[in-house]
Amino acid sequence: MRQHLLYVVAPSRLEGTSGAIKRLGAVAVEDNAITTTFELDHKLLKGISLRIYLLTDIDGV
């Protein structure tokens, strides 16, 4: 089962936030021009993956 998380982050924080998510074991996914997207398998809840979207341009929605 896939869960979706959307985070709105300041452009100045995108690199740090992306790095933190990668340290959790997430893999970058190229599927959307508006967001930076990651896929992460949840380590505690087996069978659940998280699709994490980082949005920096709230006006672009």
Q: What is the domain count for the chain? A: 1
Q: pLDDT digit string (tens) for 10-61? A: 999 999 999 999 999 999 999 877 899 999 998 777 889 999 999 998 876 6
Global pTM?
0.84
The 8 Å CB, 24+ separation contacts for 20-28 are: 21/52, 21/54, 26/50, 26/52
Residue 40 has a pLDDT of 94
Domain around 22: 2-60
Residue 59 has a pLDDT of 79
CATH code, 46: 3.30.720
Residue 9 has a pLDDT of 94
In whole angstroms, how far apart are CA 48 and each of 5, 15, 26, 51? 13, 26, 13, 10
Residue 18 is encoded by which pair of tokens? Answer: 């992306």
